[in-house]
Structure 1
Amino acid sequence: MCFLAHFLSGKNEAQVLTNQLLRRGFTSRFNVHEKTLIFDFESVFLDAVLLFFKICIKGSEVGRDMREYKVVVLGSGGVGKSALTVQFVTGTFIEKYDPTIEDFYRKEIEVDSSPSVLEILDTAGTEQFASMRDLYIKNGQGFILVYSLVNQQSFQDIKPMRDQIIRVKRYERVPVILVGNKVDLESEREVSPGEGQALAQEWGCPFMETSAKSKTMVDELFAEIVRQMDYGSQPDKDAPCCSSCSLQ
């Protein structure tokens, strides 16, 4: 099965593997040495397939001069985590809300003339899967905390998630970006830009407002989390002052 990971990792375009497709079960065809192989993915093999995929695809990157970063996208349900991620990875907007369990994406990105590979984990926003966050956080290197600026409660929900990151990582200077999504719905706004900026300043992290629908600041968001993770890998530097790092 490693050939599947090698096949996908050799592509230049965005590479996506989603749990939702695997859970529903599907048949995919891949032409290998002029032969067509058919694989039926059953939900019972989901965890094994995902683990195997990640191991194989990581190994296929050996020898390439690229940094690899693991990004975790957190936030309550319906704030647009999946929409932001899919917009960045594929350039398309998800119209219909479909609650995420766990989706894994991979994309090459160049930031400040340096190539990187992002492994993006789009997490569940419902409390039903809240117990899984510790594992996500433990394995993540950078975190995008998303709330909907048309939902005040989602803004409140994001605060304990950041506390959870600090608790699990046992370190204050974890690369984090606070994101107010759905800026295209300005007339329905419940969270002011000032509230977001104040919270980001309290946390010492960048803040920006985005729209997955109009693609406002989406590419900038993922470029900035790469910068934050790169900066975080250089412990001799002082932490950046975030009183002026609002990226709207």
Structure 2
Amino acid sequence: MVMKKVAYHKGIAMVELVFAIVIMGIVLMSAPQLISTAMKSTNIGIQQEGINEAASRINMILTYPWDENNTNDSCIPPVLHVTNGNPYLDAVDDNTSRRIGVDKNSSSHTFICEAQDLNASTLGIDGSDDIDDFTNDINLTIDNSGDDVGTDYIEKNTIKIVTKVGYITDDPYSQDYNNTQFSYRPSANTSAGTTTNIKEINVTLTSTSGISELEKTITLKAFSCNIGGFEYESRIIP
């Protein structure tokens, strides 16, 4: 009697094959959604970088002198006279050249400087060395539309940062500067056509991408006041 030996070969079961096909199908179906989400995340990242740039822009501008007439190195930057300011912020009288609350022995925060004009200047570029020289300045433009060179960018996103500087009214929101307590609300103060004691720095970030939820206009504001400046005391040690 002859015995017949049967050899069995290892193989993939039909059930395992079906599961593998289904899993691969699910992965391939979700790939377009993953790509779309990644593109939106990149747009948001660009916007966040733009906001950081706008905030850095404001911080940089605030380091500059308040006015062109505060840039003379021959004296301590003085408080300047304005044409449309709150009267409580003027000098007590012509002889003192100090506001209410400034110590008589103080050499800073006064209306005194013999070497220059003591009036706040009108807005405009007059030396690129003070705050209002940045008005109407387009600081940054990122244009990925690709229309100008025929390039098809994946991220069709345009970001622009524009800086404006202007005078705003310096009146308190309630009470007045003669009271022991008063409130000041910058958002309630309107722009002033002439010089006041407060300059508003307005940096606007505009994002255009063609996607409604990603199109943003973000405005950051800061304020700088006419309070003069100071200088460090120095002495030579023998």
Q: Common fold, TM-score beyond 0.5? A: no
Whichever structure has more helix as a proportion of its residues is 1
TM-score, normalised relative to structure 2: 0.22
Q: Which structure's CA Rg is the greater one?
A: 2
| Higher RCO, 1 vs 2 (CA within 8 Å, ≥6 residues apart) | 2
